[in-house]
Each structure stands twice: as structure tokens, then as C-alpha cells.
Structure 1
Amino acid sequence: MNEHVASRPPATPGTGHGRIDTETVRNIVESRKTRRTLWRQLALIGPAFVAGAWQFGPGNLTTAMNAGALYGYALIWVIIVSTILMIFLTDMSVRLGIRTPVSLISSIKERLGGWVGVVAGVGVFLITLCFSVGNAVGSGVGLSMLIPGTSPVMWTVICTVAVASILLLKGIYGIVEKVLIVIVALMAVSFIVSAFVSNPDWAAAGAGLIPVVPDGAWLLIIGLVGTNFSINAAFYTSYGTKARRRTETDYRDITMVDTIPGIIAPGIMTALVIVVAAAVLNSTGTDAPGAFGGLAKIFEPIAGPVGAWIFALGFFGSAFSSMIPNCIAGGTMLSDALGKGASADTRTARLGSAFILAFGLTVTIVFAGSSPVELIIIAQALTVLFAPILAALILIMANDRKLMGQLRNRWWQNAFGVLGLVTVVALSVRLIVSLVGG
């Protein structure tokens, strides 16, 4: 099939079989120019990298470090599988963002019924509530580790107020975001260096690619999937794609420069987190970190006492930067679901975002005496309860022939999509059984 068929508009009057109208020719030429120009390709980077950055937050770091500390290299396979499935769901969402006339939820309402669209929007909103707990706890804990003797709850309050202010004063966000990206990048580089300096057992790490489930690891596995196979982040990618006005002629380049690298990057980083935690914490006998103080030792091989400071700074950066897209996405989805507009600027979206921030803060205060590590892991695990609905809707809409046209799912894309759906359904059932069983 011609690679440019997807960009062909409806035939104009007088255009017979075997003839191509001038607009199609122009689109083909523009498409080729775009793929030959590196800077134009790089300009397509955006939605998937945002989704990937959203994944690599405090919940991701906490669950991955605990996986390495408690079970060594045994759970690396969870990250690999989650990353592959995330690529396919994100790709479907990108194509939906290109093809939907207004928004994904609006198209769901039109084709599957208004109540289905409401369920989808509310589902994303509920998942963002779960993520808000990890972000709130992580931001407070990170700053309290930077400034010993201070209260994590106090810092959570300050961070929540700061995020609310940034959302109101949008001009500030661009500057703050760049600073936080540098902080998180510092932590990412530290993990890469630590992965070699800590001298891990690479043969054992390779064996970790073989799926095994250690005793007592189910909750942690569910938490890992909840953070790395982030269905709500994939779902929201369609909105970022739509906001950037991507077209069908952009699709192939988007896949190569945004979708695949944007999702693989946090997957690799998460796998390295497990490797370093296994080498530094598990192999030294520190195999039951109940507090962040134990996890902070992860950078000692390369930075000594400064390692704890690097950990705290990066952990705060990942938490604080995740708070912003998390509450924006939740508020936007809720607004769209309720028919108030698919924009973060609507009153409903702003109220929804405010509620998400308040929810994370409230849970942090109420459970201030609990282990922050356990609280984050449980909150991340709960996200899989709502993920099956969103995964099913992405899969169904990506197969809608009338909506998707030539960008409709192929059989192999459906195969991975169904595998992802079955995965989150199975984990949801497992989590419910675990919760009911005590």
C-alpha cells in the first residue's frame, strides 16, 4: 500500500480511478520535505515525551527502587513488557488525536454513547487522583530530605500552593518546567552512571527478562504496571496531538521521533533504577527499605554523602513536575466528559484540577503517620482498577473504520492492544482479590 494513502483527501468531482488530485500531490510533496528535514522532524516531538515524563514520577521511582531492593533483578521483565504495551497504546492515541474532529471523548460520546464518554473522562479523573497522592507525598518528602528536620507535610502544602499559583500564572510555568527538567535530568544521568559504577550482575539482570513472580511481589508488580503502562497518560496523548494540530502526513515521523523514543526512554530509565537498586541495596543486605532514607543510599557509589542530596533533589523534581500535567489532564478530561469543553481553561477543568491538588494534599495529611513508601505504592497500584475501561475505549475507537480511515488499527496493532487490555484486566482482578482477601 502506498505510504501516503493516509494523507489523501476525498476525491474531488471529476477525479476518476487512477487519478490523483492536486491537493494530494501537494500533501505528498510536503510530507517528503518534512521527512527529509531534521529540524522539522524534531519539531514533532511533544505529546509522547510528555506522557513519558509523566510516567517517570515519584511513584515510578519508588516502585522501581523497591522492586530492585526487595527482589533484585527479578522484576525487570515487568518494565520491558509494560513499555512495549505502552508504545502501542500511545501510538493508537496519537492516531486518534490526528483523526478525531474535536476530542477523543467527544468522538466516544458520538459513536458509543454520551454515558460512555462520561465514564471515560471520570475514569481518567479518578486515576489522576491516585497519582496525585504519590506526587504530593513525593514533593514533600524530597524537600524534607534536602532540608533535614523540616516537616514533609509542610513542604507538601507549600508545593501544592506553588502548583496552584503556576496554573493561574501560566507565564511562569515554562521557566519552572525547564528548571525541573534539568533537575530530573541530573538524577537520570546519576542512574546511568550508577548502573555501571555500582558493578551490577549483568548476567542476573539478563535473567530478569524472564517472567517470574517472587512470593509477595504482586502488589509491587501491579504498582510497576500502573506507573509504566500508564493508560491515562496514553489516553491524554490524543489531546496533546490534537492541540498541536498534527496531520496524517506527520504520522510516520511522529512515530519515529516522538512516540517510540518518548516511551522507550522512561522505560530504560526505570529498568536502570531496578538494576542500580538491586546492586546497591539488595546485594548489600538492605533489602527492606521502609523509608526513603534507605532508598537514598542508591547514589552513594558515585557521589558518597552527596548521593542522598542528589536523590532528594531529583525525587522532588520528578514529583513536583508531575503534579502539574497530572492535575491539568484530570481537569481537562472531566470538563470534556461533562460537556464543558476539552480545554484546561474552562471553569470545570480548573475546579477539577484544584480538587486533584486538594485530594493529594488531604491524603498526605490524613496518612502523615504512615510509611510514605507504602502509601505511594498502594496509590500507584489502585490506578489499574480504572485502566481497563480506558484501554478498551482506545482499542475500540482505534478500530472505528469511519473515524480512523487509513489510520485504523492493523491486526498486529490489535494483537498488542488486546494483550495490554488483558494485562490490566488481570491485574485489576488480582488487586481486587488481594484487597478483599485482606
Structure 2
Amino acid sequence: MSNPNKEALDTQSGKMTFWDYMRAIGPAIIISAVVVGPGSVTTASTMGASYSYRMLWVVVLASIAAFFYQLPAVRITLSTGNSIMESVRLQYGQKVSLPFYFCLLFGTCVFQAGNFLGAAMAMNYLIPGISLVVWTIILVAMGFILVWIGKFDLLENFTKVLVFVMVASFLFTAVASSPSISAIASEGFSFQIPDGNWFLILAMVATTMVPDIPVSLSALHKKKYCSEETSEGGLSMANKYKLAHIDLVVGCTITAIITCSIIVCSAANLFPKGLTVSSASDMAAQLTPILGKYAGILFSLGLWAAAFSSGMFRIQLMPMLYNQATGQEEDMKASRSRFFMILTSAVPILIVVLFGKAPTSLIVTAQAINGILLPFICGVVWKISSDKKYLGENANKPWFNGVFGIIFIVTVLLAVRTFLSLLKII
């Protein structure tokens, strides 16, 4: 058998049917569900409430950057049969892959608290008689049980339903807001930076380019395309790459649609009244007196779907990534896998119980920690995807290194901004 590392991805392929493309939609949809959480909802709501439609262009550019940020995950996995986490272990040993994993785990546990607390805030709006802490425990338990069952196809299909709920909820609310199409066209893509607010722009980039998404996408692609258990494993290399590429385009497009819908909704309803937003659930409360109760319900439903899907799949991904970091069999029923399922479920509950009285601060803290991790992870992905000895003809081309270099600089700026924020310098 030839070494896949030395084989370039063929550009020729057989004919693909419509259903082939439909079946390909999966891994990147899951990642879009992971990306769109309470942090991105809050940031998008703030953009619209503060600056109307003038920051829509930021979402589009951030989604394009997220596409290029994740693209190496597709190439590394399909050309080698190894995920990014496995590639780190194979190239640098467990002395690097394990610290790399535990950095991800630390950021994930804090981020998980923000995810499930965001979902709890949405449910608390719909059923206010139950406290945030109790809702958090209920939702974590739901996510944990779904992952514990171990039916990956069930989780993937359920996530697709949640993504549909997100798109429908936020899009319908935006349309019901009767936004000005001419204002969207004239202001939304004028590439203005209102008040010179670079920090809000960086915040949107940070919520769209979540640190662990290329690593997670890579693990999902390995399961879908490189496993003997899946029918996709028998596809030609060119077709695998084509389908994975389509999936990534769809995933990033959905992320952009959801985020733009939130900005439009906030711009049309809150900006004219001078209302501000301090949290995602705040947005639902602000919409109720303007558009009626159904708008608050729809927005809360979208927030719940965004936050819960993000939290649930991280419970699934962390055990998978640990097995890859240590080179052990990816058995989700093994005791080590069960341990990390429990850990990524229990730690968020503990954090919410201890710090739940300041939910917005908790979400912001989670964003900050992930912002600091971003350049480290981006740098590792860049190095592996540029390694010609490992990837052969599939290593980054010079033009792609240029694009990724710009992305890396942006991640460094994000980390600096986050660090200064934590020190209360800005």
C-alpha cells in the first residue's frame, strides 16, 4: 500500500449525485453548531445595537477567515488518514500532544460553562420558574446522556436539527423586524469601523474562529471519511476532498447567516431606540416589548439551540481527542473515554454553581481564555500543514501560507487584546 502522505489529492473524480452532496453535510455543520454559542450571539447583538448594520462586513470577513482557518484540517486528515491531534503526536510525540490536548480541555471546560449557562438563560426566559443553576444541571445531564448512548449518527442528525432551529429562529426574527434593505446594502458593506472599535471586530473574529475548531473538524472528518465502518471510506480521494470542501463551505455560510441575522435583528429593533445588550438573553427580553412575546420566544429558542448543541458536542469531542493524543483505540465506551465525558460535564456545573451569579462575566471569561489559546493552536496547525516531509504535495502552497500568516497575525492581536483586558489595561 502506498504512503498517502506522498500522494497529491487528485483533481479528477467521478460524477457525484445530489444525494452524495447532501450526505456530505455533517462535520462542518457540527462545527458551526459549536461556533455559534452565547458568546457569538452576545457579540452580534452588541454590534447591531451599537452600530446598526455597519458591522455586517465583519461577519462576512470573519467567516471567510474561519474557512481558511479550518481548511488545513480537511487536507491533513484526508491526505494522511490522521487527525490534527494524531499528527501532533506522530510529529512531536506525546510530550507535545498531551499538553496540547490539556490546553484544549482547560479552555473547553470553561467554555462549556458558558455554553450551558447560555442554554439555561434561554430556558429560564421560556420557563422562569426554574433557576439558572437547576436549568444548567438539567441541560448538562441531557447532553451527557445523549453522548453516553454513543450513537454518533443520532448525535449528528440531532445537531442538524438544532442548526435548522437556529437558522429558522434567528432568520424569522430578523425578517419580522422589517429591516431596511437599502440600509443593509449601503451601510452593511461600507467597511466602516465605527468609533474605531477594533476591539469589537476582534471579538467577532474570536467568536467565529474558536481555537479548537480545526482540531475538532479534523477528528470528525477522520471518523466520516477514514473509517472502514463508514460508506464514505470507500470514496476516491478526490471525491472525499470535494465533499469535505462543500461541507466546509456550507458550514461557514450557515455561521455567517445566523450571525448576520442576529445583527440585523438587533440593528432594526434596538439601535433606533438606543437600547443596549449585555447578554444573549438580554436580547430576547429587549425584543419582547417591540415585536411581541413570540419574538422573545423565537430568539430564546435559537439561543438554546446554539448553546446546547455547542455544549453537547464538546462532551463528545474531548474523549475522542484524548484517545488521539495518546494513540489509544478510539473506543467511546472505554473507561478513559467515559472519564473525560464526565469531566467535561461535571466541571461546567461546578463552575456555574460557584460563579453563576455573574453569568455574563463567565461567558466573557471563557471567551478570553480561548482568545489566548488561539495563536498557539493556529501556529501548530500552520506548522503541520506546511510540513512537506509529512504532507508531501499536499503541504501548503506559498499563497496559502500568506493567507494563513495573516490569520496568525490576527490571532496574536486577539491574544494581546485579551491579555490586556484581563490586566484591566484596556
What TM-score comes out, normalization by structure 1 length? 0.83
Q: Contact 2:59/2:256 (CA < 8 Å) preserved in 1?
A: yes
Match of 1:377 among 354, 360, 364: 364
Matched, 1:407 2:399: no
Tell me the CA shift for residue 193 of structure 1.
Answer: 3.4
Q: What is the alpha-carbon distance in structure 1 between the residues aligned to residue 5 and residue 88 of structure 2?
A: 24
Q: Contact 1:82/1:229 (CA < 8 Å) preserved in 2?
A: yes
Q: Go from structure 1 to structure 2 and tell me whether the alpha carbon gap of 1:74 and 1:415 turns closer, same or farther (over 3 Å shift).
A: same
Q: Contact 1:223/1:377 (CA < 8 Å) preserved in 2?
A: no
Matched, 1:276 2:275: no
Aligned position for 1:191: 170
Aligned position for 1:139: 119
Q: Contact 2:49/2:271 (CA < 8 Å) preserved in 1?
A: yes
Q: Go from structure 1 to structure 2 and tell me whether the alpha carbon gap of 1:130 and 1:348 turns closer, same or farther (over 3 Å shift).
A: same
Aligned position for 1:41: 21
Aligned to 2:206, the other structure's residue is in SS state helix
Match of 1:100 among 60, 69, 80: 80
Aligned position for 1:364: 352
Q: Which moved more, 1:258-267 or 1:327-336?
A: 327-336
Aligned position for 1:398: 385
Aligned to 1:386, the other structure's residue is in SS state helix
Q: What is the alpha-carbon distance in structure 1 between the residues aligned to residue 326 and residue 244 of structure 2?
A: 31
Q: What is the alpha-carbon distance in structure 2 between the residues aligned to residue 343 and residue 237 of structure 1?
A: 18
Amino acid at match of 1:406: E
Aligned position for 2:233: none
Aligned to 2:212, the other structure's residue is in SS state helix
Q: What is the alpha-carbon distance in structure 1 between the residues aligned to residue 372 and residue 108 of structure 2?
A: 12
Tell me the CA shift for residue 354 of structure 1.
Answer: 1.7
Match of 1:150 among 108, 130, 133: 130
Tell me the alpha carbon deviations over residues 180-229 of structure 1, each in whole angstroms, 9 at most, x when there is no partner.
Answer: 644552442243234344233455545344152647772x5444222211
Tell me the CA shift for residue 101 of structure 1.
Answer: 4.0
Structure 2 counterparts to residues 70-85 of structure 1, below 5 A: 70-85=50-65
Tell me the CA shift for residue 258 of structure 1.
Answer: 0.7
Amino acid at match of 1:337: A
Q: What is the alpha-carbon distance in structure 1 between the residues aligned to residue 28 and residue 322 of structure 2?
A: 21
Q: Contact 2:35/2:208 (CA < 8 Å) preserved in 1?
A: yes
Q: Go from structure 1 to structure 2 and tell me whether the alpha carbon gap of 1:236 and 1:108 turns closer, same or farther (over 3 Å shift).
A: same
Q: What is the alpha-carbon distance in structure 1 between the residues aligned to residue 240 and residue 400 of structure 2?
A: 15
Q: Which runs of 5+ in 1 are unaligned?
A: 1-5, 11-23
Aligned position for 2:256: 267
Aligned to 2:193, the other structure's residue is in SS state coil
Q: Go from structure 1 to structure 2 and tell me whether the alpha carbon gap of 1:419 and 1:349 turns closer, same or farther (over 3 Å shift).
A: farther
Q: What is the alpha-carbon distance in structure 2 between the residues aligned to residue 211 and residue 335 of structure 1?
A: 46
Q: Go from structure 1 to structure 2 and tell me whether the alpha carbon gap of 1:401 and 1:183 turns closer, same or farther (over 3 Å shift).
A: closer
Q: Go from structure 1 to structure 2 and tell me whether the alpha carbon gap of 1:157 and 1:115 turns closer, same or farther (over 3 Å shift).
A: same
Amino acid at match of 1:308: G
Q: Go from structure 1 to structure 2 and tell me whether the alpha carbon gap of 1:139 and 1:123 turns closer, same or farther (over 3 Å shift).
A: same
Amino acid at match of 1:281: L
Q: Go from structure 1 to structure 2 and tell me whether the alpha carbon gap of 1:166 and 1:394 turns closer, same or farther (over 3 Å shift).
A: same
Q: CA RMSD in A?
A: 3.1
Amino acid at match of 1:48: A
Amino acid at match of 1:67: M
Q: Contact 1:125/1:333 (CA < 8 Å) preserved in 2?
A: no
The sequence identity of aligned pairs, in percent, is 25
Q: Go from structure 1 to structure 2 and tell me whether the alpha carbon gap of 1:214 and 1:204 turns closer, same or farther (over 3 Å shift).
A: farther
Matched, 1:311 2:292: no
Tell me the CA shift for residue 252 of structure 1.
Answer: 4.4
Matched, 1:249 2:257: no
Q: Go from structure 1 to structure 2 and tell me whether the alpha carbon gap of 1:230 and 1:318 turns closer, same or farther (over 3 Å shift).
A: same
Q: What is the alpha-carbon distance in structure 1 between the residues aligned to residue 96 and residue 169 of structure 2?
A: 44
Aligned to 2:13, the other structure's residue is in SS state helix
Match of 1:355 among 339, 343, 366: 343
Tell me the alpha carbon deviations over residues 10-40 of structure 1, each in whole angstroms, 9 at most, x when there is no partner.
Answer: 7xxxxxxxxxxxxx9xx99xx633x342222
Aligned position for 1:19: none
Q: What is the alpha-carbon distance in structure 2 between the residues aligned to residue 211 and residue 122 of structure 1?
A: 39
Q: Contact 1:141/1:152 (CA < 8 Å) preserved in 2?
A: yes
Tell me the CA shift for residue 9 of structure 1.
Answer: 8.1
Q: Contact 1:68/1:278 (CA < 8 Å) preserved in 2?
A: yes
Tell me the CA shift for residue 329 of structure 1.
Answer: 1.7
Aligned position for 2:314: 326
Q: Contact 2:167/2:257 (CA < 8 Å) preserved in 1?
A: no
Tell me the alpha carbon deviations over residues 22-72 of structure 1, each in whole angstroms, 9 at most, x when there is no partner.
Answer: xx9xx99xx633x34222233222222221221122322222112222333
Q: What is the alpha-carbon distance in structure 1 between the residues aligned to residue 408 and residue 343 of structure 2?
A: 29
Matched, 1:119 2:125: no
Q: What is the alpha-carbon distance in structure 2 between the residues aligned to residue 351 and residue 194 of structure 1?
A: 40
Amino acid at match of 1:260: V
Q: Contact 1:57/1:135 (CA < 8 Å) preserved in 2?
A: yes
Q: Contact 2:38/2:115 (CA < 8 Å) preserved in 1?
A: yes
Amino acid at match of 1:278: A
Q: Which moved more, 1:100-109 or 1:411-420?
A: 100-109
Matched, 1:212 2:212: no
Q: Contact 1:335/1:346 (CA < 8 Å) preserved in 2?
A: no
Q: Contact 1:222/1:384 (CA < 8 Å) preserved in 2?
A: no
What TM-score comes out, normalization by structure 2 length? 0.86
Structure number, greater radius of gyration: 1
Q: What is the alpha-carbon distance in structure 1 between the residues aligned to residue 386 and residue 299 of structure 2?
A: 43
